[in-house]
Amino acid sequence: MDMHSLYFVGYAVCATIAGIVMVKAQYIRKKREGTPINFKLIKIVFGFALFMWTGAAFAAVYYTPGSHAAMSIAGGLVGVILTVFFGWQINAVILKIQNDEKALEELATHDALTGLWNRRVFHQTLKKEIQQSNELGHPLSLLMLDIDNLCDINAEHGYEPGDHVLIKLGEIIKQAVRPTDLICRYRSKEIAIVFPKMRAQVAAKFARSFQAEIAGHDFDIGEGKTVRVTATIGIAAYCADTMKTEPAFVNEAEEALFIAMETGHNSIFVD
């Protein structure tokens, strides 16, 4: 291999090592600080590395004297093989990072059991919706739902059947509300729903719809067994004139839920 090929190989090795170090550093930073991974920069560095490996292959063919044809062909083949190998490895690394990033994002924003949004997303979203309501005067409603007899199911059948109930109940609610509504698992057996641009009376109609569906559904808990559950609901409406804080609005919805629970199972109270 002549000096021209060695230059290309040297650049290619440096770029490959730099790319690997960059990937590892950004991945660690993503896990520690949540900083997004710069895929564009990674692809540029690895793209340069691939270009250099390809250059090394062509240089081995072009600059090798004709008397060394066999060596020239061998060098070209080695360059092509290295290019394909590193291209495959680089693509695999980028795909793994992207999949890991999606998994980390899922863990950071969703409830692991039900797949619903978690409390972190709930509070972030509710603050934004309150701000929009204050600025634009849009109505905003917040619903708190408690699964009445989930504790009894856990005590009688175990926690796994109770988990099945939670998962299915989340699916029922998802199908009943709008795509723009935010459904969160707020506590172990409590679900919160943010209804942007919706008045409390309209939110109550949605609530009665899926409340009836929940009460009439036979929840499969395995081994051929089914159970029935009911849901008690409290709803609070946000009024831009009051300029309530996000914690105060949440407390208002929880108080509405508490009043509904005092009324009895499968009740709704609109504040």
Tens-digit pLDDT profile for residues 171-203? 999 999 999 999 999 998 999 999 999 999 999
Q: Is 167 found in the same domain as 70?
A: no
- What is the per-residue pLDDT for 16? 75
If you average pLDDT over residues 6-32, what whole number do you get? Answer: 75
Q: Is 51 found in the same domain as 7?
A: yes
Give domain status of residue 24, yes or no: yes
Give the amino acid at 101: E
Q: Is 148 found in the same domain as 244?
A: yes
Give domain status of residue 39, yes or no: yes
Q: Is 181 found in the same domain as 55?
A: no
Return the CATH number at 180. Answer: 3.30.70.270
Residue 162 has pLDDT above 70, yes or no: yes
Residue 150 has pLDDT above 80, yes or no: yes
Q: Is 208 found in the same domain as 98?
A: no
Q: Determine phi and psi for 231, rounding to 5 degrees.
A: -130, 135
Boundary of a domain, candidates 107, 142, 160: 107
Q: Is 215 found in the same domain as 93?
A: no
Band (pLDDT 50/70/90 cuts) for residue 91 is: low
Our count of domains for the chain comes to 2
Give domain status of residue 113, yes or no: no
Q: Is 164 found in the same domain as 78?
A: no
What percentage of the chain exceeds 90 in pLDDT? 50
Band (pLDDT 50/70/90 cuts) for residue 61 is: low
Give domain status of residue 112, yes or no: no
Give domain status of residue 254, yes or no: yes
Paired with 236 in beta bridges are: 142
Task: For tokens 């066999």, name the residue.
Answer: 70
Band (pLDDT 50/70/90 cuts) for residue 67 is: very low
Largest CA distance in the chain: 97
Q: Is 128 found in the same domain as 247?
A: yes
Boundary of a domain, candidates 48, 76, 107: 107
Q: Is 70 found in the same domain as 40?
A: yes
pLDDT digits (tens, 9 = 90+) for 214-224: 999 999 988 88
Q: Is 255 found in the same domain as 128?
A: yes
Confirm if 222 and 170 have CB atoms less than 8 A apart: no
Order the strands of the 268-270 sheet from edge to edge: 182-187, 190-196, 140-147, 231-238, 268-270
Residue 72 has pLDDT above 60, yes or no: no
Give domain status of residue 244, yes or no: yes
Boundary of a domain, candidates 84, 107, 130: 107
If you average pLDDT over residues 83-98, what whole number do you get? Answer: 66
Give domain status of residue 218, yes or no: yes
Q: What is the mean pLDDT of the chain?
A: 83
Rounded to whole angstroms, the Cα distance separating 238 from 268 reads 18
Range of the domain at 242: 119-270
Q: Is 133 found in the same domain as 262?
A: yes
Give domain status of residue 88, yes or no: yes
Q: Copy the structure tokens of residue 259.
A: 């009043």
Residue 53 has pLDDT above 90, yes or no: no
Residue 73 has pLDDT above 60, yes or no: no
Q: Which position has the higher pLDDT, 207 or 101?
A: 207
Paired with 233 in beta bridges are: 145, 268
Confirm if 260 and 204 have CB atoms less than 8 A apart: no
Residue 1 has pLDDT above 80, yes or no: no
The residue among 180, 161, 183 whose CA lies nearest residue 170 is 183
- What is the per-residue pLDDT for 9? 72
Rounded to whole angstroms, the Cα distance separating 186 from 25 reads 34
If you average pLDDT over residues 234-246, what whole number do you get? Answer: 88
Q: Is 130 found in the same domain as 27?
A: no
